[in-house]
Structure 1
């Protein structure tokens, strides 16, 4: 389980992943869009920063995000469904881009996520 910082700049969310940029990635690739931004809005509770612990293996208190459609390699990433968040039924889909492959080494069938509370 590793914590990742997500930062909102204006209306846009980005994952703070300097190692991706250092390896030739662009800041635009780090933008969270197509449902992931709405999830971060909900998780951040009106803040411009949220830290999420994320892993492919289940860990205590984590919510499950399930792959529902792997995208064509040209587009990259996949569409995921998060049925519950912190015990509440939400049934939200989101696209997680090719940066997911950078983080995990592949497009996992399941991702476990938990918001770090400050």
Structure 2
């Protein structure tokens, strides 16, 4: 499955995913615990970016590997590792909450992504 998702910073410089069909609390769409740092790398000095995300390989993609699926009482979702970003070794850990399962209908073992200009 492939999905284009826009991410944006609010007035407090906090990152959020723009998922119009999400029926839950907007706080669930906030990008925290390393995901915000990754979005800062992608957007550079900007306050928004759009990513093509997929649970199967896509051309010119960066790769997030699932290292731990969190139980619901720990926030759900999963901890992912980004080994490399734009060819540079990062070994960056980030958390993607249960909204990831809403988007992909599962918690993917691997998430492929690339920026859409």
| Same fold, TM-score > 0.5, yes or no | yes
**Once superposed, which parts of structure 1, at least 4 consecutive aligned residues long, lie more than 6 Å away?**
none
Residue 73 of structure 1, CA deviation = 2.4
- Aligned with residue 17 of structure 1, among 16, 19, 27: 19
Query: What number of residue pairs does the alignment pair up?
Result: 114
Structure 1, unpaired ranges of 5+: none
Q: How does 1:1-118 map to 2 (within 5 A)?
A: 1-9=2-10, 10-20=12-22, 24-74=23-73, 75-117=75-117
| Distance in structure 1 (CA, Å) of the matches to 2:109 and 2:3 | 18
SS of 1:65's partner is strand
Q: CA deviation at 1:55?
A: 0.2
The Cα RMSD (Å) is 0.9
- Counterpart-to-counterpart distance in 1, 2:3 and 2:77: 20
Give TM-score, length-normalised by structure 1: 0.92
Q: Which runs of 5+ in 2 are unaligned?
A: none
Distance in 1, matches of 2:59 and 2:106, equals 23
Q: Hey, what's the Cα distance between the residues in 2 that align with 1:87 and 1:116?
A: 18
What is the TM-score with the length of structure 2 in the denominator?
Answer: 0.93
